[in-house]
Amino acid sequence: MPVRQRGKDSYQVDVTHDGKRFRESFNGTKSNADIISAVVLDCMKHNKDIKSELQKLNPLKYSVLSLQNLLRKTTDRYWYNTDVKQLYNANNVVDLIGKNTDVNNIDETTIDDLVNILKDQGNSNGTINRKLASLSKMLTFAHKRKYIPAKPVIEWLKEGKGRTRFFSLDEENKILDILFNAEFFYFLDFVIVLIDTGLRKTELLNACKTDIVNGNLSVYETKNEKPRTIPLTKRVQEIFLKYTTKYPFADLKDSDIRFQWNYVREKMGLLQDKQFVLHACRHTCASRLVQRGVSLQVVKEWLGHKNINQTLTYAHLAPKNLQDAVKVLEADYDINT
């Protein structure tokens, strides 16, 4: 059967002739799918180029969009001057798959081949997942813009939980003192806000002063595209008041962030500590909330985690909860004694 319904308005065309096979899904009616099936079979019988013939029927679906051009479009929409690490990963993926690869030809096999190449290069599962995340972002964008009919499935690799790095109060004070003595005052304010809010770097770079109401900051440009509102500490409120621009930290360049953070790492003798990264400011905020008795559900909403499993990373930092649980179990003994 050359035409099968795959969804409410989607049909799969599956044609085989002389050992050659064409199988692809199309949006539209069954009548349209039947026409496509007939065109494909005619092309196979008379050795015509299937894609060029189908492009006459559906030019949007069969216009060639290279992976390099998709990267450019995705960068313009999401990554321009904000997320250097994700952009670096995306460029790496594009180079490995091929800049001129037609986005419509990227499927699960393509992704499996990419994973094998990255493994052969010695990348860890975590690093591979970060690179796959960049590819996933591009393919999601392509699907939303209808450049591709469907997004291929990406299977994430299992990662070890490892150790969540956060700063002690002593480490925080040393970091701030180093930045102050080096007169990196702009970045100093940036780090303080990151620690007290748990915002991601890009969220703070895009933070707007007009979104602060009664000491609460609403964040709209988030990783999971779900807005959230968090209360600000007094010192963070004072920092925002210092700046007259609408976006206080928009002028902080990634090159300056890297240089000044590496300066801190060098001064603290932590250049070899791979976990001593700026993102640890976010872990520090979360860890302190948990250690001081804030529930994991509240921390989840504060950080903007998509699901509670992400927040459970910090669960072991709440030993007080276990002690409270023991007291509940011992209550009966106290009554009977």
Task: Please check whether residues 292 and 187 belong to one and the same domain.
Answer: yes
Provide the number of structural domains found in the chain: 3
Are 48 and 106 in a shared domain? no
Rounded Cα distance between 123 and 121, Å, is 6
- State the Cα–Cα distance between residues 139 and 111, nearest whole angstrom: 12
At residue 324 the predicted structure's pLDDT band, cuts being 50, 70 and 90, is: low
**Same-domain check for residues 194 and 296:** yes
**How far is the C-alpha of 330 from the C-alpha of 337, rounded, in Å?**
11
Looking at the fold, whether 203 and 298 belong to one and the same domain comes out as yes
Please tell me whether residues 89 and 123 are part of one structural domain.
Answer: yes
Do 201 and 134 fall into the same domain? no
pLDDT in tens, 182-225: 999 999 999 999 999 999 998 999 999 999 999 999 988 777 77
Looking at the fold, whether 136 and 183 belong to one and the same domain comes out as no
Domain match, 254 and 313 both: yes
- pLDDT score for 161: 59
Range of the domain at 91: 67-144
Q: For residue 295, give the CATH number of its domain.
A: 1.10.443.10
Q: Are 271 and 243 in contact (CB under 8 A)?
A: no
CATH of the domain at 95: 1.10.150
In a domain, 331, yes or no: no
Q: How far does Cα 153 stand from its chain's mean position?
A: 16
Q: What gap in Å lies between CA 91 and CA 75, rounded to an integer?
A: 10
Query: Within this chain, do residues 27 and 73 fall inside the same structural domain, yes or no?
Result: no
Residue 105 falls inside a structural domain: yes
Name the 3-class secondary structure at 323.
helix
Query: 276 pLDDT exceeds 70?
Result: yes
In this structure, are 195 and 302 located in the same domain?
A: yes
The pLDDT of residue 321 is 60
pTM: 0.59
Co-location of 74 and 56 in the same domain: no
Q: What is the pLDDT of residue 96?
A: 94
Q: State both tokens at 80.
A: 């321009």
pLDDT digits (tens, 9 = 90+) for 44-61: 999 988 877 887 776 545
Q: Are residues 115 and 239 in the same domain?
A: no
